[in-house]
Amino acid sequence: MYCYNRIKIDQNEYGHLEHAMESSIAPEKLKNCIPNIGIACPVCNDKYKRIGEKDRIPEGEDIEQFINEAECGGKFCEKPCKAYQQFKKKYLKRNTAQFLMQPLGVKASDIGIHAERDLKIQYDALNNKFIPSSREVYSKKEEDFILHHIDMFCLNSKERKSTQMVVFLRDTIQKDGHFTEIEYNNQVVELFVHSVLKGKEAKEVLKICENLYTYVTLKFHV
């Protein structure tokens, strides 16, 4: 949900069932709310998501209103009702709640901006870090929200920064540009292959990977 790390490694499942808005806020409504549920890695779920959890709890009257107006009745809801959508906007206004809530994500309108664009992060392969998506022109408020997500889950920190792009580039260089379809432990490698390398000749792939490898290894600890 938050960091792009794989949760299935060598046939072992490491993912946790994760409620974007903590089910403890209104368990009778949020526990079985499918739009509110995703899969997170243990580090994100058990460590970083716990920080500031109490500060994210909405006001009592907002919780009561949500419970009274939510259309679910303890069953598994497959679509977000109007009450959920309104409650989500109130939740996102709380301290430490500025993170991209999967699987539904966060739209600009969810944080009070009159636009329907999605707030997304992007992996900057050249500089080996996550940044706000460059495909959108975000306002400062939107950009700050995305950066808060990146900081909240320490995606660019030395202790969490993924080594998998470096490993993939090194492997591909050693194979003279013939990359394999094996799964690396971070999805950014898969996204890089499909968006940049797919369909290119081995000679061109090798050139791209050699150039990137130099930059990435130099900036890995920056």
Of 10-24, 72-86, 96-110, 141-155, give the lowest mean pLDDT range: 72-86
Q: What percent of the chain has pLDDT over 90?
A: 61
pLDDT, residue 79, reads: 83
DSSP summary character for residue 102? T
Amino acid found at 188 = V
Amino acid found at 111 = I
Amino acid found at 179 = F
pTM of the predicted model over 0.95: no
Q: How far is residue 215's CA from residue 193's CA, in Å, rounded to a whole number?
A: 18
Across the range 212-221, mean pLDDT stands at 77
Given CA atoms 113, 117, 121, 124 in this order, what sign does their dihedral have? negative
Q: Cα dihedral angle (100, 104, 106, 109), rounded to 10 degrees? A: -170
The long-range contacts involving 135-139, CB below 8 angstroms and separated by at least 24 positions, are 139/108, 139/113
Instruction: Count the helices and strands in the chain (H runs, E runs).
Output: 8, 6
CA distances from 127 to 25, 80, 161, 220 (A): 39, 37, 12, 8
Across the range 103-110, mean pLDDT stands at 92
